[in-house]
Amino acid sequence: MNPEAKELGVRAAFVEGGLVPGDVRIADGQVSEVGVDPGPAARGTAVPGFIDLHINGFAGVDFLTAEPDDYATVGRALAATGVTAYLPTFVTSPLDTYDRALRTVSEVAPDAGPRVLGVHLEGPFISRRWAGAHDPRYIQEPDLALAGRLCDDGPVRVVTLAPERPGGLELVEHLTDRGIVVSCGHSDADAQTAHRAFDRGARAVTHVYNAHRRWQPRDPGLAGAALVRDDVTVQAIVDDIHLAPETAYAAFLAARERFSLVTDAIAAAGLPPADSRLGHRNVQVRDGEVRLPDGTLAGSLLTMDQAVANLVAKGASLADAVHAASRAPALLIGRPELGRIAVGHPADIVVLDDDLRVIRTLVRGEEQGTRRQSGVPSPGSSSSSSSSRRL
């Protein structure tokens, strides 16, 4: 055995979707063995680290205005919720704001805390009708040159756009050719247009049933197209606020292994309730909900561990919920080495207790911040609600 190897100290681990009794051994930042005889003090279950592909901010930091050092603060807080990798998300904003924010991400230390996998541009090529909390003043017409410039300014990995807009389908193809994941959202696309976008390379729906054309019996829109295609990842905000419990669970039952949890969290998440900002807009935090002054939902206070617990509470197995928080986003982002516990793969691991609370989080085999150290509230304290009001 490698003298530098160490045991995780767990009773069991989810390995390739199945529960394997025994401990996990780690060496050189990777999983070196599973099913190791656990010691008498072993506790908890190891699951793959959670990956959040849609998060605007956390722990008082809005990513649009963050400095490089702020990512260390966010990383510690996110690790306490089980996040081992994420995409800072930028809402529709003035173009010069994008330039600075993209450069900042490029300066973040690559080995500090949870992995920053790149950037998710949620806009600016979206629908004015379905702008949601995005400021319509900064929405742009689909433009290949502008999109190319933004992607040249920093590590853009995902772009949310509205494919029905003039030039939208061409933009889908252009971004896909650059290796960027296109997700359809904030869109008035009908099902036919959505299918065309997916045929041209779009691979996801950003937050199903939120901020896009409503499902109707003869016009199922973007959601209808996404749910019936086996090549599309269905992302959802499972906080019992953006979606009714039945709506979220029905989407999961339809999509199964293509269902992916996201938080859409803002800077106020992980902190005691207080008004905050989303990009350039003031938002109000009331009863676990985040809204613009006019009542429009504006992101969430959700954490990934709470999203996992919420999905399990609706009827999903823990294995399926963990898949939705780890493996599904890893495959969407083109990082197949992540979101799994397997020999030879990165030791990005979360240890859960029997109540699905995060006990420990490791990234590259190294311990990250605990919930007590970060001050992030425990699941169930403030990030979910029984409300079913939607965008």
Is 264 among the residues known to form the active site? yes
DSSP, residue by residue, 285-320? EETTEEE-TTS-B--B---HHHHHHHHHHTT--HHH
CA distance 161 to 198: 12
- Residue 103: in which H helix or E strand, if any? helix 95-106
CA distance 46 to 264: 25
264, 305, 320, 348: which one is catalytic?
A: 264
Angstrom distances, CA of residue 5 to CA of 2, 181, 345: 5, 36, 14
- Residue 373: in which H helix or E strand, if any? helix 371-374
- Lookup result for tokens 């205005």: 65
Can you read off the two tokens belonging to residue 17? 């979707």
CA distance 69 to 387: 36
Q: Using DSSP, state whether 249 is helix, strand or coil.
A: helix
CA distance 307 to 302: 7
Cα Dmax for the chain = 64
CA distance 119 to 280: 18
Q: Which are the contacts of 32, defined by CB distance < 8 A and separation ≥ 6?
A: 2, 5, 25, 26, 343, 344
- Lookup result for tokens 């629908």: 127
How many residues comprise the chain?
Answer: 391
Can you read off the two tokens belonging to residue 140? 């742009």
Catalytic residues: 264
